[in-house]
Amino acid sequence: MTAGIVNPPVWHASTILFDDLAALDAARSHLDQGLFYGRRGTPTQWALEEALTALEPGAAGTKLYPSGVAAIAAALLTVVRAGDHVLMVDTAYEPSRAFADRFLKPLGIATTFYPPTADVTAFLQPSTRAILIESPGSLSFEVQDVPAIVAVARAHNIATVMDNTWATPLLFSPIAHGVDFSVQALTKYTGGHSDLMMGSVTTTAKYWGRLKTKSYLLGYCVGPDDAYLALRGLRTLGLRLERQGASALAVAEWLQGHPAVARVLHPALPGDPGHALWQRDFTGASGLFAVVLKRGSRPHTAALIDHLAHFGIGFSWGGYESLILPVELDGIRTATSSDSAKLFAGTQIVRLSIGLEDPADLIADLAAGLDRYEAQF
């Protein structure tokens, strides 16, 4: 198809012309086998979908979406309808929670938030149709027992949806672990350069036809330029993840020994509560983790963050540049255990996304920031 060109070219198209009525009718009857209308995709988008599907053994296909939260929405809407019930992990990405509370609920679809390390059996209802997993959890990085959740779901004919943005399929394959829908915010590690918005859902043969139909009816599509950028990022994803994961672990280990730090939330650290599950199921760690500070309030945290030289202050993560962000858990967790609530209540948490900079430079930068933080007490 590319006539020897290394990278698939960018195909821009809305209208597709046909030689005659017979050709149009033939295309209409074989919508998965060629160009028909721009919203159905072009070879640029198809190349990305095929590449993402190939990363997940046992997957039947992938659809693309304009953001990660759009991908979560599409996966859930493929399997739930009015009167159904969703189980969503309490540590899920905050926009996923907002989608459940502010979009699904008015449609008559109820959501229960469950603790990340709980046995989901206790939360099942007769109308439960989907369980959303996110492991490690957003912001506080708890690791879930995915095979155990999948076993419960399959026994009750419930679909499983996993937000796998932290690990990508290179470090954890949801489909290979029995999950039905593997979701990524391609904005993060796949894009890798902080310049595109996109999400993806990869699924099995059981749900592939339903996902395609639902996505078409909802009007989801992505632009070919963004698909091209995601394809470009995918080619270096393995190298970037390896470097960023190693650098993040070095920074995390250094932070563990700092007197201002109460705890480092990183599942690859041996003392982390989720370390055993991470070691069993994952093949590596990415560059995102968090730090719990021993004391202080948000104005004190500003002294740490505001004058860092190598960390930008901003949302998202997974790009080549390091980022830092204060984390507020109060008010966005509703199902955490009393021990978890006690652990994080009133604490200052800072999330770090480690990029491609020299980890020694990042450690020196954080050391100076923590000195400024400590000087306030």
Structural domains in the chain plus CATH codes: 21-235 (3.40.640.10), 237-374 (3.90.1150.10)
Given a cut of 60, whether residue 276 has pLDDT beyond it is: yes
Position 296 pLDDT exceeds 90: no
Q: Which residues contact 253 (CB under 8 A, 6 or more apart)?
A: 269
> Which active-site residues does the annotation give?
39, 93, 163, 188
Mean pLDDT, residues 333-339: 68
Residue 343: pLDDT over 80: no
Nearest to 134 by CA among 103, 190, 83, 95: 95
209: Cα separation from own chain's centroid = 23
Contact 244, 288 (CB under 8 A): no
DSSP per-residue string spanning 192-206: -SS----EEEEE-HH
How confident is the model at residue 314, as a pLDDT?
Answer: 94
Dihedral over Cα of 153, 154, 157, 162: its sign: positive
Query: 303 pLDDT exceeds 70?
Result: yes
Its sign, for the CA torsion 337, 340, 341, 342, is positive
The answer to whether the CB of 33 falls within 8 A of the CB of 10 is no
Query: Does the structure show a pLDDT above 70 at 31?
Result: no
Mean pLDDT within 197-216: 97
**Buried (b) or exposed (e) across 163-198, using 16+ Cβ within 10 A?**
bbbbbbbbbbbbbebbbbbbbbbbbbbbbbebebbb
Confidence band of 333 (pLDDT split at 50, 70, 90): confident
Count of residues in the chain: 377
pLDDT at 318 over 60: yes
Band (33; pLDDT cuts 50, 70, 90): confident
Amino acid letter, residue 189: Y
Residue type present at position 107: L
Compare 1 and 49 and report the one with higher pLDDT. Answer: 49
d(CA 175, CA 41): 24
pLDDT class of 338 with cuts at 50, 70, 90: very low
Closest CA to 89 of 57, 64, 123, 55: 123
Using DSSP, how many helices (H) and how many strands (E) does the chain show? 13, 12
- Is a pLDDT exceeding 80 seen at residue 298? yes
Q: What's the whole-model pTM score?
A: 0.95
